[in-house]
Amino acid sequence: MPLNQSHRFCIAPMIDWTDRYCRFFHRLLTRKARLYTEMVVDEAIIRGDRDRLLDPGSVAGPVALQLGGSDAGRLAEAARIGEGYGYQEVNFNVGCPSDRVQSGAFGACLMRDPSLVARGVEAMRRAVSVPVTVKCRIGVDDQDPAAVLPAFADAMAGAGCETLIVHARKAWLQGLSPKENRSVPPLDYELVAQLARERRDLHVVLNGGIGSLDEAEAHLGRFAGVMLGRAAYERPYLLTSVDERLFGENVPAPSRAMVVRTVADRAERTGTPVWRYARHMLGLYAGEPGARTWRRRLSEETRAGGSPVLLDALDEVEAAQAAA
């Protein structure tokens, strides 16, 4: 099977982070990266405020909806609704270790029941025309990843899933907090690479601990794609190099100032409180002169003011850079 370029570089779905405002900001930095929603529970889509939950926020380019759930019928209905909002992929969350997810009997705990996950994948595939993908861990708790991951991958491929995104750590559902689960369990890239070699019918995308584009590019020799999470969120300007470096696109990178002005203009035109965008932009000047000023101004003032606060912060940062 030829390399699937669509998942060559992805930005991970992150609860409370990758909302529509974050995705708008990230799309200004890269046209090619595949973006993901926060995990949305199937029942919330079926019974809740769909426009609030699913509005893609006028974000162009590849964007995927991540769903949480365990009932095949509800997952299928939620996927069908999500496709109607224009998402080009439905991703099934089988990796989140949060207490909220465990109490709902979905997320990482589903690694224990691959047949249940497979039924969900099959139901969603029948309901939508876009690809259905799965994001998982290498195992949970005392499972042996060397046995669990290949068997899980076999079940997903048998259900018609062609792309498996693997966070290369276990999830410890007992004993570690969700935050600790993002960094404490050791990474096992080699196990995931072995899966990619042995399952040529699957596009295996690597997630977990990738901290830079140098690391991402190095991994692309062994995987169909890479997925960055915290690195992309905390140092977002690195995304401006993705299109040229990983996709061969000869396009000029937008300046930080251009990005700030575009966000300020959109907030003003749409009447959106500017803090909804600004809270995702704290790391825009990471490592640059004026970074501390930028973070302070956005953290302290954007909730109280509108887009002029964002532009005032930009002016102060540019002054600091000119004086450096």
Question: Hey, what amino acid is at 194?
Answer: Q
Considering 10, 22, 96, 161, which one is annotated as catalytic? Answer: 96
CA dihedral 82→84→88→90, nearest 10 degrees, is 20
| C-alpha pair distances (Å), 144 with each of 112, 170, 172, 198 | 11, 9, 13, 18
Q: Closest by alpha carbon to 256, among 323, 313, 303, 210? A: 313
Rounded CA gap, 294 and 316, in Å? 8
Q: Which residues contact 163 (CB under 8 A, 6 or more apart)?
A: 4, 7, 131, 133, 134, 202, 203, 205, 224
Q: Is 161 a catalytic residue?
A: no
- Tell me which residue has tokens 């300007």: 237
| Burial zone of 248 (CB within 10 Å; 0-12 exposed, 13-18 middle, 19+ buried) | exposed
Question: What is the distance between the alpha carbons of residues 238 and 213, in angstroms, rounded to a whole number?
Answer: 7
Please choose, from the candidates 101, 109, 95, 104, the residue with its C-alpha nearest in 3D space to the C-alpha of residue 164.
95
In this structure, what token pair is assigned to residue 236? 């977002």
Q: How far apart are CA 137 and CA 305, in angstroms?
A: 41
Give 94-118 as a DSSP string: E----HHHHHTT-GGGGGG-HHHHH
Residues noted as catalytic: 96
